[in-house]
Chains A and B, each alone.
Chain A
């Protein structure tokens, strides 16, 4: 098996990740999370994770899975706190999904997302993609 430890790392890169699927209905978010952790363990940077389409459900602050199940939202929150990753939730995707009754009130939207996430626009993804050495997209139908 080829593993990360047997490769000789050439250089440290910046990654930007996009997550497009909801937790508990697709594996995409978990794959992105594990990729991010592995990348940072190898010395690379993950500057920003952008949650788009149904991926915004990864940020839902009211998510409360049973204690014996994986807490995907909590995993992202913990990772953001430990590694200072910028977790950005697409405001338009949130509004389309009816998270808030007042679309113009970004503060009320911010109150809906879990700790470590922030509401912003698609421009944040463009900015991350420009600055990153690699962009990866996770979470299409599988």
Chain B
């Protein structure tokens, strides 16, 4: 399953609530304002890092660029992906679940 998160986790508990619903081999993609969650030092960075052993974690490149977030400031577990890559993740990891605030 591909999980889409479009909002930044403001606290660790919010991250845990969503991350705990994920199964091994699921894929997590942060989009829109959600990409702010995968910056080093973000409120739930530790929780996201701890789930990287279980799920693959991605962030959408255009949304990172729009917010001035460079690759160097991302958590090490995060892979950067573009829109064609987003599509391919959806193809390879259906169904797709969107999580909203």
Contacts and interface: CB of A to CB of B under 8 A. Distances in A.
Contacts of B63: 27
Given A3-B81, A34-B62, A137-B98, A142 B7 contact: yes
Contact of B100 (A13, A34, A136, A140): A140
Nearest to A7: B88
B83 A4 contact: yes
B85 A2 contact: yes
A29 to B, nearest CB: 11
A30 to B, nearest CB: 9
A38 interface: yes
- How large, as a class, is the contact surface on chain B? 20 to 34
A37 B82 CA distance: 12
Nearest to A13: B91
Contacts of B95: 134-135
Interface in A1-43: 1-5, 7, 9-11, 13, 15, 27-28, 31, 34-35, 37-39, 41-42
Contacts of A15: 90
Interface in B70-92: 79-88, 90-92
Given A34-B62, A140-B101, A142-B7, A41 B84 contact: yes
Of the candidates A31, A41, A42, A133, the one having the most CB atoms from chain B within 10 angstroms of its own CB is A31
B80 A2 contact: yes
Interface residues of A, number: 31
A34 B32 CA distance: 12
Contact of A42 (B58, B61, B88, B100): B88
23 contacts: A1-B79, A2-B79, A2-B81, A3-B82, A4-B83, A4-B85, A4-B86, A4-B88, A7-B92, A10-B91, A15-B90, A28-B32, A31-B6, A31-B31, A38-B84, A135-B96, A136-B4, A136-B90, A136-B98, A140-B7, A140-B100, A140-B101, A141-B101
Interface of A: 1-5, 7, 9-11, 13, 15, 27-28, 31, 34-35, 37-39, 41-42, 44, 133-138, 140-142
